[in-house]
Chains A and B, each alone.
Chain A
Amino acid sequence: MVDISSKSGNVSTNRKKTWHLHGKSFPILYLLPHLIVFTIFFLIPLIFGIYIAFTKWDLVRTPVFVGWDNFKTLLFSHSIFHDQLTSGLWHTILFVLISVPFCILVPLLLAVVLNTKPIFAKFFQGLFYLPSLFSISAVVIVWSLIFNPNYGPLNTLFHLDQVWTGTQPWAWMTIVILTVWWTIGGNMIIYQAALNGIPQDYYEAADIDGASRWKKFIHITLPSIRGQLLFTIVTTTIAQFNIYGQPLMMTNGGPNGSTTVLMMNVQQNAFGSGQSLAGISSAMAVILGICITIVSMVQLFLLRNKD
C-alpha cells in the first residue's frame, strides 16, 4: 500500500506499468481471498464456539456468560447432560477402539497382497477404493438392506432370524462393518505407494540370509512404511472420532441408546426440537474436540519416539 502512494508521482507516465504491477509484489492480494473466507467461516466460528461453551445460549438471544458452569454440569453433576456426555463419549471411544485396528490392518493386508502384482491388480484396487467415494447416507441405505431383518439377504439367504441393528453386539458390528467397507480405500492406496517405494535390494539381501516371509514383513516392510503408518493411524483415529452418520441412520442410536455417540447429542441439544441448548452443546463439542486433539498428539508422540 505504501508503495502505491510513493509512486503516485509518476503514475500518469507509468500508468500501464503500475496497472500490471510490473516488478512490484503484492502478496497480500493473493492471500486475501483465502484469508477472508478462512477468518469468517473458520477462525471466528472456532473462537466463538469456544466462547459459547462458557455461556447459556439459545441461538437467538445474546449469550449469557456463565463461566465454567457448563463444564461443571457436564463433568461432575448428576444430570441428563452428564449422562449424555459420559455415555456418548464412551460409545464414541468404543467405536474408535474397535474400528481403527480394522481400518488399518485390512487395507495394509490388501496393499501387501496387491503388491505381489497379481493380474487384475488395478481392477481390484479400484474396486476396494470405490465405496469411499460415496456419502455415508447412501452407504447406510445400501447396508441397511443387507442387514434388514425381514428382507435382507443375510437373513433370507442363511435362514436366520436376527435383528442385526436392534440387538447388541450386532448393532455395533453392523456399524463397524459398514465403516470398514466405506473407509479403507484411502489407507490402502497410501500403503501401496509406500510399499512400492521400498528398495527391492532389502528383500534380496534378506532372501540370501534365508529370512521367512513373515520375518521380512516385520523387519523390512513395517519399518520402511512407519511414516505412512503413523500418518494413517492418526488421520483414521481423528476421522472415526467424528462418527455421526452411521449410528444416526443405521441404528438410530439404539438399541436403548447403546450406539448413541457424542456428536448425536451435540446435534440434538443445539439443533433438535425444542429450545436450543447451544451453550452446553458447544461445551460438549469442545470436550470432544479436546479429546481428539489429545489423542492425536499422544499418538504422534508415541509413534515418533520409537526411533
Chain B
Amino acid sequence: MKNKKQGSAQWLSLIFLIVLGVVWITPLLYGLMSSFKSNLEMQSVGFKFLPINWLFTNYTRLLQNTSNTPVFRWFLNSIVISGGSTILVLVVTSLSAFAFSRLRFRGRNVLFMFLLSTMMFPPVMNIIPLYKIMTTLGWANTPWAMIFPAATGVFNIFLIRQFMDNIPIAYDEAARIDGASDWQIFRIVILPLIKPVLFVVALFTFTGSWNDFLWPSIVFSDINKMPITPGLKLLQGMYVADIPTLMAGAIIAIIPTFILYLVAQKYFLQSMSLSVGVKG
C-alpha cells in the first residue's frame, strides 16, 4: 500500500520535473542553437529551433576580433583575474582560518565576531571609495583591482574554520609531541585534511570572480584590459542588430564555469550543504 503510494508520487514528480526541466533548459538551448545561425536566417525564418545551415563563423569572427570587442582577450583576462583571485583567496583564508581554529591568542573570538559582523554591510557602500583607492594605487584596469577585493571575504574563513574545527585536536597534539611547529602542523597535518573545503572555496571564488559584473564594469574602462562579464555589456551594444553573434559571445562566456560544473558538480552541491550545516 505504502510503496504503491510512494510509486505514484514518484511518477507525478517525474512528469512535473520533465515539464519544468524543459522550460528551464529551453532558453539556454535556444540561445546555443541561435549562435550557429546566420543573421539573415535569424531575421527571416521565424520560429525554428535548429539552424538550417550550421555556421561557426559567429564564433570565429568574435574570437578573431582584436579591435572594438576583443572577446578572446577578455576571455584570457578573465582567466588571469579569476585564477589569481582563487590562489590569493586560498592562501589568505586558509592561514587565517588556521589561526582562528587552532592557535590560542587573546581576543580571538572578539576578532572573529568583528570580522563576521562586517558581513552585514552590503558591498554597495564601499564601491566608490574602493574605486578611488584603485586609481590612486594605479591598479584600475589591472587584474589587481579584482584580485585583492576578492580576498577580503570573511565567509570563506568561516567555512574553512568550521571544517577545521571538525578535525580532532588529537592529530595536532600527536604532531606536537613529535616536535612539530605550528607551521608544520598546518602544512603536514591540517592542509591535506581540509582539501575538500578548499576545493569548494576555490570553485566558488573562481566562478564568483568570473561572473562579477558591477565592480569590473566600474573599474575597467580600457577595452583591452577588461574581463568578459562586463565585456558582454559592450558586446550587447555593438551587436544589437546581430543576435546570433551576440549569442555566440554569451556561450563563450559561460563555457568555463559550465565545464567546471561538469567536472566538479559534487563539490558545488556539497558546498551549499556545507554553508547551511553551519547556519541552519
Q: How large is the interface on A (under 10, 10 to 19, 20 to 34, 35 or more residues)?
A: 35 or more
Contact of A141 with B148 in the complex, beta carbons under 8 Å = no
Contact B25 A127, beta carbon cutoff 8 Å = yes
Cβ-neighbour of B92 out of A33, A248, A263 (below 8 A): A33
Structural contact, B133 and A45, CB atoms closer than 8 A: yes
The stretch of B54-62, B65-73, B166-174, B243-251 in contact with A is B243-251
B236 touches A141 (CB 8 A): yes
Binds B, one of A80-88, A97-105, A118-126, A163-171: A118-126
How would you classify the secondary structure of chain A's contact residues: helix, strand, loop or mixed?
helix
**How far, in angstroms, from A30 to B279 measured CA to CA in the complex?**
25
* Given A134-B211, A244-B213, A42-B118 contact (CB < 8 Å): yes
Q: Which residues of B contact A227 (CB under 8 A)?
A: 279-280
Total interface residues in chain B, CB < 8 Å: 98
CB distance from B28 to the nearest CB of A (A): 6
Tell me which of B16, B108, B213, B272 contacts A189 (CB under 8 A). Answer: B272
Question: Which residues of the partner chain A approach B249 to less than 8 Å between Cβ atoms?
Answer: 141
Q: Answer whether A293 and B93 are a contact pair too, CB < 8 Å, given A124-B17, A134-B254, A138-B253.
A: no
User: How far is it, in angstroms, between the C-alpha of A99 and the C-alpha of B118 when the chains are bound?
Assistant: 26
Instruction: Please provide the chain A residues from 136 to 155 with a CB less than 8 Å away from any CB of chain B in the complex.
Output: 136-138, 140-146, 148, 150-151, 153
B184 at the interface (CB under 8 A from A): yes
Which residues of A (40-71) have their CB < 8 Å from a CB of B?
40-46, 48-50, 52, 59
Using Cβ atoms and an 8 Å threshold, which residues of chain B touch A143? 27
Distance in angstroms from A121 CB to nearest chain B CB is: 8
| Residues of A235-274 contacting chain B, CB below 8 A | 238, 241-242, 244-245, 248-249, 263, 266-267, 270-271
A90-B267 Cα distance, complex, nearest whole Å: 38
CB distance from B279 to the nearest CB of A (A): 5
**A46 lies within 8 A of B126 (CB):** yes
Closest residue of chain A to B156, judged by CB? Answer: A34
Select from chain B the residue with minimum beta-carbon distance to A148: B243
- Nearest CB of B to A277, in Å: 10
Quick one: which of A26, A136, A156 contacts B182, CB cutoff 8 A?
A: A26
Distance to closest chain B CB from A290 (angstroms): 9
Contact across chains for B152 and A242 when beta carbons are under 8 A apart? no
- Give the CA-CA distance A227 to B11 in the complex, in Å: 30
Chain B positions 67-106 with a Cβ under 8 Å from a chain A Cβ: 88, 91-93, 95-96, 98-100, 103-105
Q: State which of A28, A30, A41, A266 has its C-beta within 8 Å of the C-beta of B148.
A: A41
Q: Which residues of A contact B98 (CB under 8 A)?
A: 30
User: Roughly how many angstroms separate A128 CA and B14 CA in the complex, as a whole number?
Assistant: 14
Q: Assess whether A40 is in contact with B148, with CB atoms less than 8 Å apart.
A: yes
Q: Which residues of B contact A241 (CB under 8 A)?
A: 122
- Asked whether A59 and B131 contact (CB < 8 A) given A118-B13, A145-B31, A194-B280, the answer is yes
In the complex, the answer to whether B17 meets A113 with C-beta atoms within 8 Å is yes
B276 at the interface (CB under 8 A from A): yes
Report which B residues bind A (CB closer than 8 A). Answer: 2, 6, 9-11, 13-14, 16-17, 20-21, 24-25, 27-28, 30-31, 34, 42-43, 46-47, 88, 91-93, 95-96, 98-100, 103-105, 108, 111, 115, 118, 120-133, 148-149, 151-152, 154, 157, 179, 181-184, 186, 207, 210-214, 218, 229-230, 232-233, 235-236, 243, 246-247, 249-250, 253-254, 257-258, 260-261, 265, 268-269, 272-273, 275-277, 279-280
Residue pairs across A and B with Cβ atoms less than 8 A apart, 13 shown, are A34-B96, A40-B148, A41-B130, A48-B129, A49-B129, A133-B268, A137-B230, A142-B250, A145-B247, A146-B27, A242-B122, A281-B128, A285-B128
- Identify the 8 closest CB pairs spanning chains A and B, nearest first: A45-B126, A135-B211, A137-B232, A30-B99, A189-B272, A48-B129, A156-B47, A193-B273
